[in-house]
Amino acid sequence: MTTPHLSDQEAQQLATTEALAPAAAVAHLHACAHCQAQVASYRVLFAGLATAPRPVFAFDPAALVGPQLSAARARFPWGASLGVALVLAFVGGCLAVFGAYIQQLVRGVPAGLYYVLLLPAAALVLGQGLDLLATHRRQLSILHFS
């Protein structure tokens, strides 16, 4: 009966450390020249990778980013807040001026039609909201590893 050679996975593990490898694999390695060559080639590869030159930026990242930090600091979104306030004021003004007309328009509408319009709209808003929440949670979990 012939002992099967080490798999590539076992050879890689043995090239890293023999301590965590199964005893049978270590025993086979010590007895098999073919597998010793396999493990040796991985050791050569790993040592070569460890001693390979590391990439270095041709610029100084700290000097590059430094001048932009004050601009990048999170500030209160005054522009967006003003936009929201203007939109709310416009909608409020419209309701104040045309409120009576709108009430007259919807007075004669049957109740069933409300449900036909409102239920899909509510479902749509709910779906979008849940999707936004899921995206937000996913992004936060990516950033915080939680």
Partner 1 sequence: MSRPPTPSSTDQQLVERVLWGEQAAFTEIVKQTEGLVAQLVFKMIRQPADRQDLTQDVYLKVFKSLPGFKFQAKLATWVGHIAYNTCCHYLEKKQLVLVDLGSEERDDEAARRLPRVATPAGNETERLLFSQELTAILGAELEKLPPLYRTLVSLYHQEELSYAEIAQITALPEGTVKNYLFRARKRLKENLLVHYQRDEL
Q: Which residues bind partner 1 (CB under 8 A)?
A: 8-9, 12, 36-38, 40-42, 44-57, 59, 61-62, 64-66, 68-69, 72-74, 140, 142-146
Question: Which CB sits closer to partner 1, 46 or 90?
Answer: 46
Distance in Å, CB of 61 to partner 1, minimum: 5
With contact defined as beta carbons under 8 Å apart, do 14 and 32 qualify? no
The DSSP line for 13-82 is HHHH-STTS-HHHHHHHHH-HHHHHHHHHHHHHHHHHHHSPPP--SS-HHHHHGGGHHHHS----HHHHH
Distance in Å, CB of 89 to partner 1, minimum: 31
Question: Which CB sits closer to partner 1, 26 or 36?
Answer: 36
Question: Which CB sits closer to partner 1, 75 or 107?
Answer: 75
Phi-psi region of 145 (alpha: psi -120 to 50; beta: other; left: phi over 0): left
What is the distance between the alpha carbons of residues 41 and 34, in angstroms, rounded to a whole number?
11
Question: Which CB sits closer to partner 1, 44 or 85?
Answer: 44
Distance in Å, CB of 43 to partner 1, minimum: 8
CB atoms under 10 Å from CB of 11, counted, come to: 23
Distance in Å, CB of 4 to partner 1, minimum: 15
